[in-house]
A and B are shown apart, each in its own frame.
Chain A
Amino acid sequence: MTQEATEVVEIPTQLPIVDYLRIGDDPHLAANECAGCQARYFDRRNACARCGKEEFRSVRVADDATLRSFSVVYRAAPGIPVPYVSAIVLTDDGTSVRANVVGLDDPMKAELGMRLRFTTFTCGTDDNGTDCVAFGYAAA
């Protein structure tokens, strides 16, 4: 007699939009930092693009940031809500991050040099009921 194994697939309630976003009680961004020169990468690298060292460690990226550059996007591919504020922010520990500035009542109120703070929000739900958690930066 054979007994069929029943595989239980646990459906997550939430998933991060990208793997360098850590969600849970303490949402934050994580980077792979070069052990040699501290250059940071959000994806995997074979060797540090700056110094060539092959050792990396995972580090937490600071939540506080400054708006280095932005564009208010009015024209995008179909299905993407506009306008939105696309931004390059510089975190207080010196890491550049690309994300939206969120929470402004008027997108044209974005200002170069404004102080920002990391935040997360739900940006969609799939057929399993799993929420996608994204991140952005709100005026501090």
Chain B
Amino acid sequence: MSDAVWVLGTSMTRFGRYPELDAVDLASRACMDALADGGVTIHDMDVMGAGTLFQSQTGMGQRVQKQIGQTGIPVYNVTNACATGATAIRTVYLSIKAGEAQMGLAFGVEQMGKMGLLRGGAKAEEKVFQAAGRYGAVTGVDGILGTETMPGVFAQAGMEYACDYDGVGFEQFARVAYKNHQHSTLNPLAQYRKEFSMEEIMGSPVQSYPNTLLMCCPTGDGAAAVVLVSEERLRSMPAEVQKRAVKISASVLTSDPWVESGQVQPDVNTLTRNAAAQAYETAGIGPEDLDLVELHDCFATAELIHYDNLGLCEPGGAGEFIDSGGPFRDGRTPVNVSGGLISKGHPIGATGVANVYEVTTHLRGEAGDRQIEGAKVGLTHVIGLGSACGIHILEKAA
């Protein structure tokens, strides 16, 4: 018998703004729905993985248990920047792999509201300059020694690729956003569902060139959950349950290895490449076998470079890949058919679970209007700055 781990149930709330609810409400809703989707209850769970970034010190897992069932199982409250959700899944995955659990629940949640621009501190007027911190800074350096804002950091990641390879510029980055906004019109769970023209995208207010407003993900609220089960336990379940289960062919988490520029610019490339190589090898597939990919498009500039990092295009060929329609839903490898972070939304802790929900739903043939017909294999990818990369490869039940 294989020791594979399977997705038994999954759910997500629509991403958006829920001022009338709190994060515990959102997470509990996603958890209850995921359990029901798998035909099980919290009383069947042996372990729980709980992911949130901004409420990471609040005992989120235990707070959700108080809403849905306190059974005394171990809870791992995890945080790993934007890879938080994927990390929560992996804690449950590893528990099952280790033989300590047969079934477990992982969720990710975030309630961000309208936080606005992330990172980059407001400039304070120092009364008296005094060196502080690891660099002995006497004042805030954001805006003086480069940018610390997310749209800027990811703009630079994309522009570095443009420096190294031809055929990549403002228009190619804008086309990524064009695609994802277009895709989101088919997804009822997306925060935004509006199509924009290339002119509207390129003409929207520049945040950090080349990222305009419509090329940046919004902040928002939402939750997603998955129920994982061991192969052994799955085989004891009814045939119709087994049929809807989706196999996790690879679950990988990497951190950023040393690169020369890493101390001044977070490296989102090397750890993605390492994770992808490891995931493809474990799953015994290549990028050409993927029917859909949900990758970390926090900004349009980020998505483009991950085409190359995940091997979806020829080395250096990300510009050509988007220009030729490769990642559109009718293209060679559909990317972010959910609308991606750019339009589906990015409640940070939920993101790495929501993309597993998305791919699972397609592999089950239950994605409705946005279904990628005949999808058998899909990949999910998240990046947390600092850095952490989570990749899962999912396969339809044989």
Contact = CB atoms under 8 A, between A and B. Distances in A.
A100 B147 CA distance: 8
Given A44-B134, A69-B163, A77 B117 contact: yes
Interface string B226-260: 00000000000000000000000000000000101
A80 B123 contact: yes
B146 A86 contact: yes
A61 to B, nearest CB: 12
Contacts of A134: 141, 144-145
Contacts of B387: none
B65 interface: no
Given A15-B138, A79-B122, A88-B265, A72 B146 contact: no
Contact of B156 (A69, A74, A95, A123): A69
Interface in A90-115: 90, 94-100, 108, 112-113
A7 to B, nearest CB: 16
Given A84-B143, A126-B126, A128-B128, A17 B138 contact: yes
Given A80-B143, A81-B143, A75 B160 contact: no
A75 B117 contact: yes
A42 B264 CA distance: 9
B163 A68 contact: yes
Contact of A127 (B120, B128, B264): B128
B120 A77 contact: yes
Given A49-B258, A78-B122, A43 B134 contact: yes
Given A76-B120, A79-B123, A42 B156 contact: no
A86 B208 contact: yes
Contact of B206 (A20, A44, A74, A98): A74
B159 interface: yes
B143 A17 contact: no
A69 B142 CA distance: 17
A85 B205 CA distance: 16
Interface residues on A, range: 35 or more
Secondary structure of the B side of the interface? Answer: loop
Nearest to B212: A74
Interface in B196-246: 205-211
A124 B35 CA distance: 57
B117 A87 contact: no
Given A69-B156, A72-B208, A130-B129, A88 B264 contact: yes
Contact of B146 (A20, A49, A82, A98): A98
Interface of B: 117, 120-124, 126-129, 131, 134-139, 141-147, 149, 151-152, 155-157, 159-160, 162-163, 205-211, 258, 260-265
Given A18-B135, A18-B141, A68-B160, 17 more contacts: A43-B263, A69-B160, A69-B265, A70-B159, A71-B159, A72-B209, A75-B206, A76-B120, A77-B120, A78-B122, A79-B122, A80-B120, A81-B143, A94-B260, A95-B260, A99-B146, A124-B129
